[in-house]
Amino acid sequence: MFDSIKRKKIDIKEGTIEFWTDEDKLIWNDNKKNLLFNVSVDTKGSIFLIKDNDNKLKFFHVLIGKGRTDVEIDVSALSNEKPHHIVAIWSLNKRKIVLFIDGGNLKKETPIIYPVNEDYRKEPKHILNFLTR
């Protein structure tokens, strides 16, 4: 999906991933699955984003042994002929994950409801990871 990836260490507690999709590289209403990214964070958890076969963009935050939270947005009406700006945010301190498309024209937020101990709520050391086209 991406021509280049610039990586910093991902923090499972809090962070942001943002990127632009290229035009005509992703068909938003084709009823097919497309994995946009999948990042495992040590043995603590993972984050991933897929365009699923129900034409929804789905962002998942997983803490091993704690639970999973996901947020989804229907993307079937997005144009394939122009790039789209995607932003995924997660925060255990604020207890939510958020998915934005095109500057918030499409936005969805989901609360994190599984229990999180203090080890996961400490201030993150690394926050950002940018995936760029």
- Has this prediction a pTM greater than 0.75? yes
Residue 112's domain spans which residues? 4-132
Check residue 6 and give its pLDDT: 46
Check residue 127 and give its pLDDT: 39
- Compute the distance between CA of residue 131 and CA of residue 133 in angstroms, rounded to an integer: 7
Total domains in the chain come to 1
Amino acid identity, position 65: G
Check residue 11 and give its pLDDT: 84
Mean pLDDT for each 10-residue chunk of the chain (133 residues)? 51 91 92 92 88 97 92 96 95 94 93 74 45 44
CATH of the domain at 58: 2.60.120.200
Nearest to 113 by CA among 73, 71, 74: 71
Check residue 118 and give its pLDDT: 58
- Compute the distance between CA of residue 6 and CA of residue 51 in angstroms, rounded to an integer: 22
Q: Is 73 exposed, middle or buried (0-12, 13-18, 19+ CB in 10 A)?
A: middle
